[in-house]
Amino acid sequence: MEKSFSFQTNLLHNKWKIDEQTGAVSVPIQHASTFHQANFDEFGKYDYSRSGNPTREALEETIAELEGGVRGFAFSSGMAAISTAFLLLSKGDHVLVTEDVYGGTYRMITEVLSRFGIEYTFVDMTDLHEVASHIRPNTKVIYVETPSNPLLKITDIHGIVKLAKANGCLTFLDNTFMTPVLQRPLDLGVDVVLHSATKFLAGHSDVLAGLAVVKDKELADRLYKLQNAFGAVLGVQDAWLVLRGLKTLHVRLEQSAQSALKIAKFLAKHPKVEAVYYPGLSDHPGHSIHRYQASGFGAVLSFHLADEEAVRTFVQHVKIPVFAVSLGAVESILSYPAKMSHAAMPKEEREKRGITDGLLRLSVGLEAAEDLIVDFSEALTYVKTSEAVS
Ligand SMILES: *Cc1c(COP(=O)(O)O)cnc(C)c1O
């Protein structure tokens, strides 16, 4: 990648902008599962598509460049990327995990890794003392999401990396909410960056994909072996869709984040909204740490209404956003963490984390912010406040 260009330009003018063989301005989709070996003794660059495929490789090299890593890996979903990264652990190892981690990651750790003798502790990562106090001699990974899902809590990446390095642990960071447009964790010392590329990177609610990027060559070799051994690789059509989505990543995120800030400010002033969680609001407890480690606040926010009844009424009356699982798309997506992304988490654990029955998460898309605000404002007129309820 040309270092002299900005990130926005590099999204388009990279090594893959023109196919060397044909001059095509779109990466060719190579469907072959296997590759003829012209030489009996020496195999070519590609032999079998699980081990390597040129279309997948284009995506893997692109994300590695964007995140500033040495190597990228594309998987069949975000969970496939995350699960494969966890295979770096062995029986007897311990992992420290942010307490409001993505629901699927919570399920993977508590229901699957635990069966293989991998221990875990969930901690409030906004509190570095708390993190430090839970590091054990066998702690091998500190797993971070910042901003976290769905409460948009901010973890001090530098602080965690320092603790991890001092204790011989690796740091994994799920960068789905920020993308390398807004946050580049490898530059801050993180070892493995993970993505659900299903979300902002692909951006159109039409593909499932996951990515991992590492900065260290030896770690890259280990993760490559796991990717090939476990085999949850991304298909070529889907790799192409993610590459296509990446071309507009910067402009999509910029636009959606601008709208998210406007909507967060509107909700924060609304009498029927009890709390708004968005790192772009100056009274967000992680605002200044986030400003230090990222270059924008992203397009996801969440907010509290009085209770489940209020949420139900709001969702029934709101017209623009789709009501669905997922985020990071061209259309705004409203979701209900208690019954969607965090349904895998027991109610008691959920509520301990502040993911109550009154919480809604909004991923802001590319609609006019003014239209969304009018839509929300109208839907809120039907909602009762907690005082009115009691
Ligand atoms: C969606 C999501 C995942 C899981 O990704 P899939 O592509 O759905 O498997 C992981 N982490 C975060 C933060 C997510 O939003």
Residue 15 a catalytic site member: no
Task: Report the SS3 class of residue 276.
Answer: strand
By the 8 A CB rule, do 338 and 305 touch? no
The model's pLDDT over 222-256, given as tens digits with 9 standing for 90+, comes to 999 999 999 999 999 999 999 999 999 999 999 99
User: In this structure, what CATH number is given to the domain that contains residue 254?
Assistant: 3.90.1150.10
User: In this structure, what CATH number is given to the domain that contains residue 229?
Assistant: 3.40.640.10
Least confident of 6-10, 54-58, 269-273, 351-355: 351-355
Residue 71 a catalytic site member: no
- Give the number of the atom of ligand 1 that is nearest the alpha carbon of residue 209: 7
Same domain as 378, residue 323: yes
Q: Does the pLDDT at position 389 exceed 50?
A: no
Same domain as 191, residue 256: no
Same domain as 122, residue 34: yes
Q: Which 8-state DSSP code applies to residue 375?
A: H
Ligand 1 center to residue 357 CA distance, Å? 21
pTM assigned to the model? 0.96
The mean of the pLDDT values for the chain is 95
Q: Which of 196, 341, 355, 363 to probe ligand 1 with, by most ligand atoms within 8 A of CB?
A: 196
* Burial readout 69-80 (b: 16 or more C-beta within 10 A, e: otherwise): bebbbbbbbbbb
pLDDT band at 353 (very low <50, low <70, confident <90, very high): confident
Note the pLDDT of residue 2: 46
Cα angle 336, 337, 341 (rounded to 5 degrees) comes to 120
The answer to whether position 4 is within a domain reads no
pLDDT band at 1 (very low <50, low <70, confident <90, very high): very low
Rounded to an integer, what distance in angstroms lies between the CA atom of residue 89 and that of residue 279? 32
Both tokens assigned to 371? 């239209």
> Which residues make Cβ contacts (< 8 Å) with residue 225, sequence separation at least 6?
none
Query: Whole domain around residue 369: which residue ranges?
Result: 249-389
Q: Does the pLDDT at position 69 exceed 50?
A: yes
pLDDT band at 3 (very low <50, low <70, confident <90, very high): low
Same domain as 168, residue 267: no
